Structure 1
Amino acid sequence: MTIPGLKKPDHLGLTVPNLEEAIEFFSQYFGFELAYQFGPFSSNDNWMADQLNVHPRAEINKIAMMNAKGINLELFEYSDSVERRKTVPNNADIGGHHLAFYVEDMEAAVTYLKQAGIEVLGKPTLMTDGPTEGESWVYFMAPWGMQMELVSYPDGKAFMQQNSVKLFDPR
């Protein structure tokens, strides 16, 4: 049984080292729109630890919420008031993650990112067999080191022909 009243995902939350840089990055390159921002926020009791699973004296400088075209994106900027890990996990780490964006033209999108000085990892890979046959993908790096991905499958993926479970299709 699922959670009673469950509808759909509301937002994805990310902690970034510089909120203004992240807002600019997501606005300029992806067309996300800033809805609001607020902060700072801290607590003198254990609220931060109990509610957010961070150090009790951690301080949030600012929080922003952006319309990310289908889901909302919540961005957090914490202060350096307490010791914390400042390295982004990679995909092999527990908690590793990436954010993927569908593009219609992989070559044009990769060229655009490279011309903007954004690090693209390797070359686009075209999947030629298995359930993702027909998909091309490539990873790139946000300015603060978070891994992101471009994906494209204009003619669909192989599993779409054979599977009764449908995935969200951004095309």
Structure 2
Amino acid sequence: MKVYGMQHIGFTVPDLGQAVEFFRSMFGAVECLSTGLIDVDDDFMRRRLGVPGQCRIEDIKVLRVGNGTNLELFQYSGDAGADEAPKRNSQPGGFHLAFQVEDCNAAADRLRKAGVEVLDGPTYVDAGAMEGLTWCYLKTPWGQFLEIVSMDGPLGAERNGQPAQWSPVTGR
């Protein structure tokens, strides 16, 4: 199998309009695709998507944010657990998305001024494998964790001979 790279990350949000507006206004996202209602039967939902049969996809929107992996956002109906908060990073299945920005400190200030819940930081890593990384966590209006990062050059691991991570800045 030849793998080219990651094409998209998909996740479910409680309010698709709110999510699209958040990524558009805070990160400059552009909507590339919208499906509208996916009209299929219960068996399709169970067998092809692994969700309860009564669930339906109300809409899917694919967003492009800068030079990186696409975001595929789903809004479902019919799931009794839909009001549960997203998992924390410490729980299996918990995750976050990280966006590389030019200046993490300036980006965190901008997000805070826009009313986004930004956790403590940004934090600069001055030693070890992540030396040279500035990072900060934040939360979307629906509680999903995101991260913003900036780097002042290759990280410590790369300077010590490890393979370089892919970068949306260089495209390699």
TM-score, length of structure 2 as denominator length = 0.91
Aligned to 2:111: 113
| One-letter amino acid of the structure 2 residue matched with residue 78 of structure 1 | Y
| One-letter amino acid of the structure 2 residue matched with residue 38 of structure 1 | T
Q: Deviations over 1:68-95 (max 9, x none)?
A: 232211100011x231252100100100
Equivalent-residue separation in structure 1 for 2:121 and 2:63 (angstroms): 30
Q: Secondary structure of 2:122's partner?
A: strand
**Compared CA separation, residues 129 and 90, structure 1 to 2 (3 A):** same
In the TM superposition, what is the alpha-carbon distance from 1:106 to its structure 2 partner?
1.9
**Compared CA separation, residues 144 and 164, structure 1 to 2 (3 A):** same
* 8 A contact 2:42–2:52 mirrored in 1: no
Q: Secondary structure of 1:100's partner?
A: strand
TM-score, length of structure 1 as denominator length = 0.91
Equivalent-residue separation in structure 1 for 2:138 and 2:31 (angstroms): 23
Aligned to 2:137: 139
**Compared CA separation, residues 164 and 53, structure 1 to 2 (3 A):** same
Structure 1 segments, 4+ long, off by >4 Å, are none
Structure 2: runs of 5 or more not aligned: none
Over the residues paired in the alignment, what is the CA RMSD in angstroms? Answer: 1.4
Aligned to 1:126: 124
Question: 2:156 is matched with which residue: 151, 158, 170?
Answer: 158
Q: Deviations over 1:115-157 (max 9, x none)?
A: 0000011121111221001111110001110000111112331
Question: 2:99 is matched with which residue: 79, 101, 107?
Answer: 101
| One-letter amino acid of the structure 2 residue matched with residue 132 of structure 1 | M
In the TM superposition, what is the alpha-carbon distance from 1:5 to its structure 2 partner?
3.0
| One-letter amino acid of the structure 2 residue matched with residue 50 of structure 1 | R
State, as a whole percentage, how many aligned pairs show the same letter.
Answer: 35
In the TM superposition, what is the alpha-carbon distance from 1:166 to its structure 2 partner?
1.9
Aligned to 1:61: 58
Equivalent-residue separation in structure 2 for 1:164 and 1:110 (angstroms): 29
In the TM superposition, what is the alpha-carbon distance from 1:42 to its structure 2 partner?
4.3
